[in-house]
Structure 1
């Protein structure tokens, strides 16, 4: 290691081998370089960079910035408002206490916010994002992602592929995104929002599905696609109701939404 840690503000640089570096107290900058490193920030607002190798980064107390770099890394923010960046590889990112911001990066990542109002962004592959307690914002990005809100009033946005959104307790906002998505609001008065006509296709296997719509409590928001009441029809298929939406007045559906166990669904359940 190039420097010796102190209780002050240190800049510490590892070797090409696997290092274990503890910054102790102070606001430290620690870089692991090559090798499988364990970097611990300690007290203070620290910046940890794993670089190459299978690294473990521990922020502990303070508002820390953790960047995993290449390969499969584990990043744990600890207490404080932390910023975690996965980078390349299949990473495990844990925000901990505080209002954290997490970028999963490339690879098949697992990211959890923990307590606090967190913002979590998926990357290019199939990610598992979990908000935990607090009012969280989760965005899937690319890939077939799983987003779980937990307690609090959460916002879950699906992204470009086939995503699974599960909000949990609280009054949540679920945004379908492109792809064939499955949306579960959980307890509370939830809103299921669709921003464009491409957010839910026409036909089985293409349209989005709302799995637990609570009639008279939840809402389906079609204001952004400019749907009109006259263009909405309901088709019952077994226990499901298919909402067909004609946006251009040609008497054919431009988008569809499947509502599981949707008997009794009416225009009063929509925001138009």
Structure 2
């Protein structure tokens, strides 16, 4: 068998002197905010689940659709996001992701008004599609936004905002969603009249409107700031766009790197094994 080679393309900031100036601080801070924002959306799902279970009287299977719809968005978006960024830029992928994030979160308002569980699931799918764009763009962008030697440090620093976002999501969700309308026991629900029960369930669903509209506002502000901020131009390390491999060739199986395939499978199993139990138990 002949030697198999895989063409890869890495990027760096065009102006190396910019890495020594303060011109990277604002772009890097904005990228860190993305790590925070997608952690918030990811961790709010577990807050939504008990709320929707009581409001819509969901079975475990129906409740599991919250996580399924969300992570299906993550499943379908990376390749389209990669195409977009290959044709345009990392920045275009980020703005697209933020727009999808805002649209999905905005759907929570009409979904709550009409108490439509399916519309909530569509909103979660769109949010996750947006987050997939953000993660596909922001993770590599952080590593090249400055000196190559500091790439790992910048990525680790940005990831700390992800952990912070996860903590804030729990506090945010519990204070604005769970505590807004206290959950009632089944005995208390059985004593309610049909009108009282309907009003109570509707109030549970309406409690998600305010937090998600706050998220919409924050996401749109961040999107506007990113649109107005000048990010450093990136160029290929080989300085030749003609040498870039085709997109289809980049999808070829990485035969020389079996650990990559095993790592990908492990990531899928980790995510799939952790989230559904957290939502059902």
Category of TM-score, reference length = shorter chain: under 0.3
> RCO (CA 8 Å, sep 6+): is it higher in 1 or 2?
2
Q: Which has the higher strand share?
A: 1
The two structures have a TM-score, normalised by structure 2, of 0.21
The two structures have a TM-score, normalised by structure 1, of 0.21
Q: Which has the higher helix share?
A: 2
